[in-house]
Chains A and B, each alone.
Chain A
């Protein structure tokens, strides 16, 4: 009932955001935005998609070349779009982006009510004097609106949509994964996750928070032996996911008549053969890498991006699978081989769900300034390097390093804030403002 005006507000936001995107996509800025290295990487640029679809329609297998890295499913769909309804493609991108925003809005709503009910359940265990930390009824309404707004009006997301990067579809899949995960719908969730994995491989790590969520949803509804139920539920989730992925891969191979696409998609993601600059850490590192250590560092970097933080974070955050999923998405966006600003914008839009943690965050100012400065400096030093040739690669590398550092600070800060708040909820706020000189330390 209370959310009615909020819903209206959100619909208004959709309209405004849609108009902004529509205006930009029909303006001359579209080309400029789509050509930016920060927005379009080799993996998601629309130019490559056009080339792939063109080659496909000419009867040339696009996967034998170096210029196309989308999945066969994407190839068929994009080819159909380009050949049949080229004038609607911009609209499709905008609609997908708005749908993503709406899905995130619904996710946030569900998540907030879940958070609130959990708080109600655990309220007795909390320490005294922590009432200020608790969520109020009013806190449930705003965060979903913030999530939607952060997605709709984040320039990173707008540019990524206007530049027609396929990250728009990846984000849509991810958003659906989040929603279906929290709604506890195993088959749908696993299918969408498999679709996301098919496109960009890294989302496979989200299987862990998803299976935790699904297991929890099942065990809470039944009264049987919880431990074994959870285990069997997790196994079932993994099996569903793997079979969905295998099915998609099989369909892909049937569509293109072979398995070459694996090398052009997953091989391309894992081996990092393209060293075109982007906002990530891979390009300059592997440009300057000594050839005999290349394989070692590829393995190190890829493990760092996928598996390294998965297990420890799962152990730490198993009570809060949503936060686990969000931080995994964020780490993925920082450490993946071809990240773009669209990926960054996606996890930034998730953050308002933890608005109650913002008070505990200490680096907000630093991170915010870094985001602003690097976003402005990136295009400037790129121009100096590539066009006026008065700077060199180190300048742009410095900016990407600063950008990655800022993102890392953001992720660690929010995790630390979560831990801090949990601690304060159970142990009280006495370390704040009490006369004794005490402090909280991790040890």
Chain B
């Protein structure tokens, strides 16, 4: 009886809870945007951004009742005391030299970093649990993230959102990459489910797996941070950015010309905006229209915005989907006047590449080349994230700029430990003006236990991308959003003192020497035999005594011997 009463009572309480929540209006906004940018190399860069802004305190309890914000993610964030969360799942490599800077840079494979709140007790444990939960949410192998492949870099990563206390303590940060991760539809589907309109309406209908995974580069992103609600910053909001970056190669997709359209890129036209969205815009960068190959947009853009940023001028055609009266399917097409003309590529101010040197599987080196094309010296922070099975020698660290060795401004190094901790190296450098700086390090190839090799052992082992961070003085090739902005719109005419870029270099692959996987038993037997070879005689020598013994020969041998001696005697007699 008591039990029944209790249930009813708690049920009533629950109802009360729900009604109180329904009464308080949810103040949240959802914006969807798409930026299309033809690149000088003939590629087309498509960047989707779905932004959810929610005026709520960043507390675990806030995430119990979600409206536009994905509750599945909210619960994880609330439970593991996350302050800020960044995930990117990428296939392919962003080529900074020819493509400029993306809005969000991402390392090939999966990348995850999070700031925890200062009240978090055991950060390593929470980090592992958070990664496990996210692995379930997005079908990524984040369950392999643990202390053995996580870092807390001191300089490279700063909180992107607001912080409660003044000083930034990097011990609340964890960063990890899984360079071997292959990103596919199974990641895209759960990612789309986090959107308010799912993939049923709005710009997200354009995200069709077949056309996304057909690109040179695709990257899914998920960025959560606390932001200021207003300019006074007395209250906090939660901002969730879900991003997709795609780079299409029109040579592969096209039918002999450079023309592209929404339908051609995504396989489907647009049927309208997401009804829950406050803003639903498509921006097309038409700056290249004037300098490079000329193209005509149909339908003609309703508005054109000129944006000057960091001394660099660009023009965007803007289509407001909400304002358009869409009947059936909507398509935007770019028709080129000439069949294939590529623009002159002006590489960005700072870019990098990285490779492995050495031959054989005994010793090797990693070389990273940083190109500074600016007329001034640039300060950069270089973060190296080397797995434990690549033992680095710090004394071999050499930084050579234009043939001259330079001293780093700052250096942080924590040597790795087998199966426990990666090698962490962070170097702050001043790159001389118009220089190529080479950072080289040597390492040894490690011999692992046979069960530690992945199934295809000779495929090789991946080394995660290095991260190069810098505050550029000019805005050329820069598309990133300003720190105080949430949407792509906020990046127009957003001139600031510096433009933060974080480049990810190539991931590297090395093939390590392998044992013979087929013979553990043989090895165990043979080695034990050799040990027994020592044990047997030593046991005999130490425990037994020498004795003289009459030779008792085998009867057969004796018979043969006597025969032999007799026959030889006979021969002697005969001779």
Contact = CB atoms under 8 A, between A and B. Distances in A.
Given A401-B530, A439-B548, A442-B546, A416 B541 contact: yes
Residue from A55, A67, A386 with most neighbouring chain B CB atoms (10 Å): A67
Nearest to B449: A287
Interface stretch (A11-19, A150-158, A162-170, A387-395): A387-395
A404 B216 CA distance: 55
A440 B546 contact: yes
Given A437-B551, A442-B540, A442-B544, A394 B391 contact: no
A289 interface: yes
B531 A394 contact: no
Interface in A19-58: 35, 37, 47, 50-51, 54-55, 58
Nearest to B540: A442
B17 interface: no
A288 B539 contact: no
Contact of A415 (B416, B417, B516, B538): B538
A183 B64 CA distance: 82
A408 B530 CA distance: 8
A72 B123 CA distance: 32
A385 B542 CA distance: 40
Contact of B519 (A58, A301, A304, A394): A394
A420 interface: yes
Nearest to A282: B527
A54 B394 contact: yes
Contact of A67 (B393, B519, B543, B545): B393
Interface in B349-373: 359-363
Contact of B520 (A289, A397, A439): A289
Interface string A417-443: 001100100010001000011111111
Interface stretch (A210-218, A242-250, A269-277): A269-277
Nearest to B359: A387
A287 B363 CA distance: 20
Contacts of A50: 393, 395
Contact of B514 (A55, A392, A440): A392
Contact of B415 (A67, A274, A308, A419): A67
Nearest to B513: A386
Contact of A405 (B359, B523, B533): B533
Nearest to B517: A288
B542 A285 contact: no
A312 interface: yes
A291 to B, nearest CB: 6
Contact of B534 (A51, A285, A289, A408): A408
Contacts of A404: 530
B449 A289 contact: yes
A313 B363 CA distance: 42
A312 B539 contact: yes
B514 A64 contact: no
Interface string B407-444: 00001011111100000000000000000000000001
B547 A441 contact: yes
B524 interface: yes
A66 B531 CA distance: 29
A62 interface: yes
A277 B553 CA distance: 46
B393 A385 contact: no
B449 A291 contact: yes
Given A64-B415, A66-B416, A281 B516 contact: no
Contact of B549 (A65, A316, A392, A441): A441
Residue from A286, A288, A291, A411 with most neighbouring chain B CB atoms (10 Å): A288
A335 B449 CA distance: 20
A312 B543 contact: yes
A386 B447 contact: no
B450 A313 contact: no
Contact of B546 (A51, A55, A415, A420): A420
B446 interface: yes
Given A276-B447, A408-B530, A385 B513 contact: yes
B255 interface: no
B159 to A, nearest CB: 27
B545 A443 contact: yes
A397 B522 CA distance: 11
Contact of A273 (B418, B451, B527, B541): B418
A334 interface: yes
A216 B162 CA distance: 78
B541 A438 contact: no
A442 B546 CA distance: 4
B4 interface: no
Residue from A65, A281, A308, A412 with most neighbouring chain B CB atoms (10 Å): A65
B333 to A, nearest CB: 52
A442 B523 contact: no
Nearest to A301: B531
B541 A419 contact: yes
Residue from A58, A66, A281, A284 with most neighbouring chain B CB atoms (10 Å): A66
A365 B152 CA distance: 60
A283 B531 CA distance: 14
B548 A438 contact: yes
Given A290-B451, A408-B533, A431-B548, 19 more contacts: A55-B394, A55-B395, A66-B416, A274-B418, A274-B447, A275-B448, A285-B527, A312-B538, A386-B360, A386-B362, A387-B360, A389-B361, A392-B516, A393-B514, A401-B526, A411-B534, A438-B551, A441-B547, A442-B545
Interface of A: 35, 37, 47, 50-51, 54-55, 58, 60, 62, 64-67, 273-277, 281, 283-291, 301, 304, 308-309, 312-313, 315-316, 331, 334-335, 385-387, 389, 392-394, 397, 401, 404-405, 408-409, 411-412, 415-416, 419-420, 423, 427, 431, 436-443
19 contacts: A58-B394, A66-B415, A66-B416, A67-B391, A275-B446, A276-B444, A284-B523, A285-B527, A287-B515, A301-B531, A309-B534, A389-B361, A394-B516, A394-B519, A405-B530, A437-B550, A437-B551, A438-B548, A443-B545
Interface of B: 359-363, 388, 391-395, 411, 413-418, 444, 446-451, 513-516, 519-520, 523-524, 526-527, 530-531, 533-535, 537-551, 553
